Amino acid sequence: MEETSEPRGQEQTEKSEATIQIGNYPVMESALEVLSILGNKSKVTLKAKGNSIPNAVAIANIITEKMLNGNSKVEKITLDTVDAAGIGDMTSTVEIILIKN
């Protein structure tokens, strides 16, 4: 899991946002790391693809329902599918935006 700070137009101009790439790491460790980042930022975007999607969903649920119950929520969920060039395989992606109240 790594934090990226890619400029994305005016959305990323505020320093109160972070983007986290979710991998196949232990879910509770990742949730604690996201929680610490969310402590400093008001908006965190979780990005995952393929087999990492269930981990991203679990982390979002742990943060919003267990750790910050009532103090955070899911603002937006974006689902997409990407074609692999020339192979014909498709990979699903998800982007979950969490915000602090």
Structural domains for the chain = 2-100 (3.30.110.20)
Task: Using alpha carbons only, give the angle 92, 9, 85 rounded to the nearest 5 degrees.
Answer: 30
Q: Of 14, 73, 7, 6, give the one whose Cα is nearest residue 41.
A: 14
pLDDT value at residue 52: 95
What confidence category does residue 5 fall into, taking pLDDT thresholds of 50, 70 and 90? very low
- Using one digit for the tens of pLDDT, what is the confidence trace for 17-76? 999 999 999 999 999 999 999 989 999 999 999 999 999 999 999 999 999 988 999 999
Whole-model pTM? Answer: 0.80
